[in-house]
Amino acid sequence: MYSLSDYFYDLPDDRIAHKPAGKRIHSRLIHLERDKKTFSHHGFTDLEGKLKSGDVLVLNDTKVIPGRILGKKESGGKVEVLILDYASGMKSFTETGVFECQCLVKASKGAKPGLKIIFDHDFFGIVVDGSEGIFRVRFDSGLPIDEALEKNGQLPLPPYIKRDEAPDSEDHDSYQTVYAKNKGAVAAPTAGLHFTPELMSRLELKGVRIAKITLHVGYGTFVPVRCDDIRDHRMHSEWFDISAETAEIINTAKASGSRIVAVGTTSVRTLEFAASENGILKPSSGYCDIFIYPGYRFRVVDAILTNFHLPESTLLMLVSAFADRDFILEAYQEAIRENYRFFSYGDAMLIT
């Protein structure tokens, strides 16, 4: 249960979704029922029949920034920058007027403090400090940073999405949830990519309550676990925010016996990190670094809507904590046999 190899499964390359499958709502859904140890196959629109009046659907409203920026050195050498902590950069800007944050920097012959990176005629960065690929970069631009990124940046699609071409206009729409609002993520909370405004309206008409949290998904979500014993793994931290309104909705629902349905592992981690021992949420914000693996006792979440996760990933460990590792891996094998599409642009799983 604590060995990294316990979370390995063999995934054929052709099961990885490299592009979205037509319309959001056309994705598939496998439903896992923990008590019965059964699973069944559906379309994502069938989610409406799986939820009931009183359920609270918790959505992560983070918005992916075009934080992958291609530039060059003054000497002409190519440099690639990925902004890792947009939230801290905005905090820095608010306090000092300077946008400065941690970035992943790839450069010919490496990067070092003092390196000037030119992105555009009036947009450049200076490496302040750092090592091993991760550096603090100070940005300067003739435009507000948001506008400079929109003009020069790209959406940082996950590394397992293999294409010859760069992200296009289709990705700028399909790799954001329809309710994305707060800028700061370097990856989408992909379980939410399946929703449309029409489906959300139907759910609300049915009596399902919508509550939103923010967790800015970081690059660490793609960093593999390198410890043979997963308990030795140290989780990355990501900025989160839970409003007073969301805390009240969830606490009231829990007190009345209604289900809390977390959309995505980001919502799960945020709720579980912020909850007290007895499952009470308080309005809060900060950095979340909770690592959930088998043996964890869930305090808030009663059901999870999620996508399929990489072998040996912390996300697979999280859902294995919620629904039993053997049952999850059995469902994954069933999904492979049934030609489900995997990972960010893939199909969905509902665990109740």
Can you list the domains of the chain with their CATH numbers? 4-64+172-351 (3.40.1780.10), 68-154 (2.40.10.240)
Give pLDDT, residue 214: 98
For residue range 222-256, list pLDDT tens digits in order: 789 999 999 999 998 999 999 999 999 999 999 99
Give pLDDT, residue 123: 97
Give pLDDT, residue 24: 85
d(CA 324, CA 222): 23
Q: How many CB atoms lie within 10 A of CB 257?
A: 8
β-strands 99-107, 260-263 pairing: unpaired
Supply the angle between the helices 314-323 and 265-274 in degrees, to the nearest 10: 70
Give pLDDT, residue 172: 82
Give pLDDT, residue 276: 97
pTM of the model: 0.94
Q: Which residues does the chain have with pLDDT short of 50? A: none
For residue range 156-191, list pLDDT tens digits in order: 988 888 876 777 667 888 999 999 999 999 999 999
Which three-class secondary structure string do you get for the chain?
CCEHHHHCCCCCHHHECCCCCCCHHHCEEEEEECCCCEEEEEEHHHHHHHCCCCCEEEEECEEECCCEEEEEECCCCEEEEEECCHHHHHHHHHHHCCEEEEEEEEECCCCCCCCEEEEECCEEEEEEEEECCEEEEEEEECCCHHHHHHHHEECCCCCCCCCCCCCCHHHHHHCCCCCCCEEEECCCCHHHHHCCHHHHHHHHHHCCEEEEEEECCCHHHHCCCCCCEHHHCCCCCEEEEECHHHHHHHHHHHHHCCCEEEECHHHHHHHHHHECCCCCECCEEEEECCCCCCCCCCCCCCEEEEECCCCCCHHHHHHHHHHCHHHHHHHHHHHHHCCCCECCCCCEEEEC
